[in-house]
């Protein structure tokens, strides 16, 4: 289904974005009081709409993860948070393939 960015996020834009019609257990709860930053929200939505990568960056505690989860909540997108730090390895994140020769 398509949703209006103007109605869904309160941002003056004619863009429509894809959303799922139903929630699942991985869709975050909506924070009705969350105020969306226009430029960041449009960049995130355009990235997903046009299959482009978007990097959301900033100091810790500035709301990067909160912004993503609030976008996901309104579009019924499943979202799992993974904190990347020096203790995370590729195997932790992706898993490990084992080749078995028969």
Domain definitions of the chain by residue range: 2-94
The closest alpha carbon to 44, from 75, 1, 80, 14, belongs to 75
Q: Model confidence over 64-87: pLDDT tens digits?
A: 999 999 999 999 999 988 877 788
- Within 10 angstroms of residue 79's Cβ, the number of other Cβ atoms is 16
pTM of the model: 0.80
Burial class (CB within 10 angstroms; exposed 0-12, middle 13-18, buried 19+) of 85: exposed
- The answer, yes or no, to whether residue 4 has pLDDT greater than 80, is yes
State the pLDDT at residue 87: 82
Q: How confident is the model at residue 101 (pLDDT cuts 50, 70, 90)?
A: confident
Q: Model confidence over 5-32: pLDDT tens digits?
A: 999 999 999 999 999 999 999 999 999 9
């Amino acid at each position: 289904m398509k949703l209006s960015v103007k109605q869904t996020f309160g941002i003056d834009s004619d863009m429509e974005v894809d959303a799922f019609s139903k929630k699942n257990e991985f869709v975050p709860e909506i924070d009705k009081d969350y105020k969306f930053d226009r430029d960041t929200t449009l960049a995130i939505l355009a990235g997903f709409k046009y299959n482009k990568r978007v990097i959301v960056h900033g100091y810790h505690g500035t709301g990067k993860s909160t912004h993503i989860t609030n976008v996901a909540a309104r579009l019924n997108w499943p979202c799992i948070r993974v904190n990347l730090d020096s203790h995370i390895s590729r195997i932790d994140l992706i898993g490990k393939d084992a080749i078995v020769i028969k």
